[in-house]
Amino acid sequence: MAGGNAIRGSRVGAGPMGEAERGESAPRVIVSYWCSNGHETRPSFAEETGLEIPELWDCPRCGFPAGQDEANPPAPPRVEPYKTHLAYVKERRNEADGQAILDEALQKLRDRNLIR
């Protein structure tokens, strides 16, 4: 029995992929970017878009910013440590302010007979 589907064993889009099917590629410009770890990234950009080539590009290997000057790559971003809520409160208040607020809150609780 020799029947069945004519495209059996194929997938959508299968076939020879070449310039004839896709058309000609747009002229490209390749730009080199270097990060502070010395990694080089070479993305390509279409020439005819009229858009500016970005000054910075993210390095795909380490994630640091990369610039076009190999001798002077941009510095990696400074990562601030995680701060707790208490750390932010301590930035705004000193020890005396904290003690005054605590005493006021305790006095309110004493007035309501919740603590002794």
43 and 58 in contact (C-beta within 8 Å)?
no
| Whole-number average pLDDT of the chain | 84
Q: Is residue 30 part of a domain?
A: yes
Closest-CA residue to 32 (of 84, 74, 67, 82):
67
Domain count, the chain: 2
89 and 56 inside one domain: no
Q: Is residue 96 part of a domain?
A: yes
Q: Is residue 38 part of a domain?
A: yes
Q: Is residue 73 part of a domain?
A: no
Sheet containing strand 40-41, edge to edge, reads 40-41, 33-35, 65-67, 56-58
Give percent of the chain above pLDDT 90. Answer: 43
86 and 61 inside one domain: no
Find which of 12-16, 36-40, 45-49, 97-101 is predicted with most confidence, using mean pLDDT: 36-40
Q: Is the pLDDT of residue 34 over 90?
A: yes
Q: How far apart are CA 112 and CA 72, in angstroms?
A: 66
> For residue 97, what are the domain limits?
80-116
pTM of the model: 0.54
pLDDT tens digits along 51-65:
889 999 999 999 999
CATH number at residue 50: 2.20.28.270
Q: Which of 23-32, 36-45, 58-67, 101-110 has the lowest mean pLDDT?
A: 23-32
Q: Is residue 91 part of a domain?
A: yes
63 and 84 inside one domain: no
90 and 115 inside one domain: yes
Q: Is residue 6 part of a domain?
A: no
Closest-CA residue to 44 (of 62, 29, 64, 60):
29
Q: Is residue 99 part of a domain?
A: yes
Q: Is residue 12 part of a domain?
A: no
Confidence of residue 7 (pLDDT cuts 50, 70, 90): low
Q: Is the pLDDT of residue 49 over 80?
A: no
